[in-house]
Amino acid sequence: MLVIKNGRVMDPKSGLDQVSDILVENGKIVKITPRIDVEGVQVIDATGFVVAPGLVDIHVHFREPGQTHKEDIHTGALAAAAGGFTTVVMMANTNPTISDVETLQEVLQSAAKEKINVKSVATITKNFNGQDLTDFKSLLEAGAVGFSDDGIPLESSKVVKEAMEEAKKLNTFISLHEEDPGLNGTLGFNENIAKEHFHICGATGVAEYAMIARDVMIAYATKAHVHIQHLSKEESVKVVEFAQNMGANVTAEVAPQHFSKTEALLLTKGSNAKMNPPLRLESDRRAVIEGLKSGVISVIATDHAPHHAAKKMLRILPKLHLV
């Protein structure tokens, strides 16, 4: 038996939120009460800590196969466990991409060795080519939990519609990285700070919410479940809410950085504050918080994506003075 004492016990399902002791027997919680005293058992003092159900992160990049100099499934799983996550879902932008059953099986075999639940999506299109759908049915049967070309937006509305129709037929879903390349500038910088401080065209808001608008309307037409990844703009929240109110089966996620920081961080943290989608405005930060509170955004996902230290050290362009 095990007693966890003095922790702040939080259970979202029941609404419990209080300092309590927990009695665990044979791996199961058998009692939660303000005080438990049992002789001769292991005791963990959780004073100052939160005791809660294991967290789930549906959007991580563990870089295996092909980029293990950044991270692999084992180190990623250890990092997740250290943060309280007991289930994670890996994205498919590996090398090779997870576009076929053989690669998926290799990844899942590696994942099965870990002490947390490590699941994986497969790509929507073959090797991220944006044109040819993967074999959704075979990949689902092999263990994929969904489909995403995360990191690369799907530019073809025809392909998006075909993917949604296939997902609907197989009772699965697709997750979309929304960012129209034709409407964007330099990634990593929000358009405002890019223009004012670096005199370049940065990542525009319209590139995000215009593509979301297109895709949620296709979702409405196909009745497929579509998940919008890491939205970051106030307008994006409004577009998702509009589609949901129409009856579209659309869900959305936000990453912690987009409700905790703004583009101003670039001025103090430099390249360490570059990310995609970029940090946005204070009005956007507040809007995604309201989206979480209202339920329009139903998921917080980290988009955990380690990069090699040398790559992160690349400097931001200095402020340019035009003559």
Q: Does the annotation count 21 as an active-site position? A: no
- Interatomic CA distance for residues 224 and 204, integer angstroms: 28
- CA atoms lying within 13 Å on the CB side of residue 38: 17
Which of 21, 100, 284, 303 is an active site residue? Answer: 303
Q: CB-based contacts of 135: which residues, under 8 Å, 6+ apart? A: 100, 101
C-alpha distance from residue 81 to each of 10, 54, 57, 77, 308 (Å) = 18, 9, 11, 6, 21
Q: Do 146 and 137 contact (CB within 8 A), yes or no?
A: no
Which long-range CB contacts under 8 A does 166-173 form with residues at least 24 apart?
166/133, 166/136, 167/136, 167/224, 167/225, 168/222, 168/223, 168/224, 168/225, 170/136, 170/137, 170/140, 172/136, 172/140, 172/146, 172/147, 172/225, 173/146, 173/147, 173/224, 173/225, 173/226, 173/227
Q: CB-based contacts of 154: which residues, under 8 Å, 6+ apart? A: 124, 125, 130, 160, 163, 176
At 19, list the tokens. Answer: 């300092």
Q: Do 26 and 56 contact (CB within 8 A), yes or no?
A: no
Query: Which residue numbers are catalytic?
Result: 303
